[in-house]
């Protein structure tokens, strides 16, 4: 059962018919399955709803519990990807200090950043 005894979207759907449901219903079922409400994602850009919802689920249910470097790598990948996406979508985009710093770390190939490990986490 959903919140306050009301049936949730997932309770009302059959797994073999989810793909034929309207997109808002599919999203609601997906978010309920992950245990994330749409209000939780209200301040997140729509194109990041799925990665953030999956990350929330992972943080709550990871066995063994997630470790800090893995979480940092995941967040770094999300931030870097978002900054690169913004850069490509905006003409005249000024590369900010965060993106400049990330590019500098990647280009230097310092020992503190293992590119193979970073890529595997991504």
CA dihedral 63, 65, 71, 73 (to 10 degrees): -60
Contact yes or no for 38/31 (Cβ under 8 A): yes
Contact yes or no for 77/120 (Cβ under 8 A): no
pLDDT at 77: 81
pLDDT band at 18 (very low <50, low <70, confident <90, very high): confident
Domain spans in the chain, listed from the N-terminal domain onward: 3-61, 68-121
pLDDT digits (tens, 9 = 90+) for 21-53: 888 888 888 888 899 988 889 998 888 888 999
C-alpha atoms less than 13 angstroms from C-alpha of 40 in its C-beta half-sphere: 16
Average pLDDT over residues 64-71: 84
pLDDT at 114: 64
Answer with the residue of higher pLDDT: 106 or 86: 86
pLDDT digits (tens, 9 = 90+) for 76-93: 888 878 877 777 766 555
User: 31-35, 73-77, 101-105: which has the minimum mean pLDDT?
Assistant: 101-105
Average pLDDT over residues 2-6: 42
Q: Where are the alpha helices (DSSP H) in 62-111?
A: 68-89, 97-108
As a residue count, the chain comes to 122
pLDDT at 116: 67
């Amino acid at each position: 059962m959903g919140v306050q005894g009301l049936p949730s979207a997932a309770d009302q759907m059959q797994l073999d018919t989810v793909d034929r449901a309207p997109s808002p219903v599919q999203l609601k079922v997906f978010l309920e399955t992950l245990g994330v409400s749409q209000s939780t994602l209200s301040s997140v850009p729509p194109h990041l709803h799925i990665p953030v919802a999956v990350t929330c689920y992972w943080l709550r249910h990871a066995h063994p519990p997630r470790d800090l470097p893995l979480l940092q790598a995941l967040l770094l990948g999300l931030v870097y990807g978002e900054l690169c996406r913004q850069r490509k979508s905006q003409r005249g985009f000024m590369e900010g200090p965060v993106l400049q710093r990330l590019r500098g770390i990647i280009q230097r190939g310092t020992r503190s950043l293992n590119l193979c490990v970073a890529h595997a986490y991504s």
